[in-house]
């Protein structure tokens, strides 16, 4: 294990962007396999699948699609984002590294800029990759984006406080990607909920328009 970690550190030093891309692709692919397994198990427990479908069959096309998202978007964009964010706060805001104000500024900017962008690109990309039309993707975004943003907004800041306080910048994306193993399961579960009432309630709450009660 120690040898593997040293090998990873060496790769990160020699080829930082490539290493981040490959590791992100692998981790996001594993996350999707976990998400499919959990979704299948949940459906089986709720008796939503037929007897002949009880054996889990991994959708490898979806795994490849999700892995490509990690490889082509999360890896390169995340690499430059965390490095640029750190430099910006050090040089422009002139905050002492690892201070509470420094960490708070990083968490705030990450949550306001990168978090929504990541969700938007993820839902849009997965929609196009599954063959959906632009109107269908817009509907999915209306249905899933706000609930995901609200629920993740209560979790990711806690994750990122520890990340920005204790993890060196070069390893921050790797740290985030491991939490994305859980996040992939959450996003898969969120999509499975479709037009659940709690989603509609969250959307209406944020917009300030409560839906009228059905008679």
CA dist 8 and 184 (Å) reads 23
Query: Can you say whether the dihedral through the CA atoms of 194, 199, 201, 206 is positive or negative?
Result: negative
Measuring CA to CA, which residue among 119, 84, 90 is closest to residue 103? Answer: 90
For residue 127, the model assigns a pLDDT of: 92
For residue 208, the model assigns a pLDDT of: 61
Instruction: Output the CA–CA distances (angstroms, integers) from residue 124 to 5, 139, 170, 211, in the order listed.
Output: 34, 11, 28, 26
**How many CB atoms lie under 10 A from the CB of residue 165?**
15
CA dist 87 and 95 (Å) reads 10
Q: What is the CA radius of gyration of the chain?
A: 19
For residue 39, the model assigns a pLDDT of: 78
SS3 state of residue 106: helix
Q: Check if the beta carbon of residue 153 is closer than 8 Å to that of residue 96.
A: no
For residue 35, the model assigns a pLDDT of: 84
Run means of pLDDT, 10 residues per run, the chain, 215 residues:
92 95 93 85 67 75 92 95 93 87 94 94 92 93 85 89 94 91 72 64 64 48
């Amino acid at each position: 294990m120690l040898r593997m970690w040293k090998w990873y550190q060496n790769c990160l030093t020699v080829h930082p962007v490539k290493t981040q891309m490959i590791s992100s692709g692998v981790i996001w692919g594993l996350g999707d396999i976990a998400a499919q397994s959990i979704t299948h198990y949940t459906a089986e427990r709720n008796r939503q699948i037929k007897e002949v479908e009880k054996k889990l069959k991994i959708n490898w096309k979806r795994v490849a699609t999700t892995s490509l998202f990690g490889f082509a978007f999360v890896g390169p964009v995340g690499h430059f984002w965390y490095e640029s964010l750190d430099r910006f706060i050090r040089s422009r805001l002139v905050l002492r590294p690892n201070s509470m104000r420094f960490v708070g500024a990083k968490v705030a900017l990450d949550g306001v800029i990168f978090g929504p962008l990541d969700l938007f690109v993820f839902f849009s990309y997965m929609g196009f990759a599954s063959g959906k039309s632009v109107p269908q993707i817009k509907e999915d975004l209306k249905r899933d984006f706000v609930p995901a943003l609200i629920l993740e907004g209560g979790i990711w800041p806690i994750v990122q406080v520890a990340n920005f306080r204790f993890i060196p910048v070069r390893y921050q994306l790797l740290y985030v990607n491991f939490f994305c193993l859980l996040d992939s399961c959450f996003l898969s579960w969120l999509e499975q909920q479709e037009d659940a009432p709690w989603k509609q309630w969250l959307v209406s709450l944020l917009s300030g328009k409560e839906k009228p009660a059905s008679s």
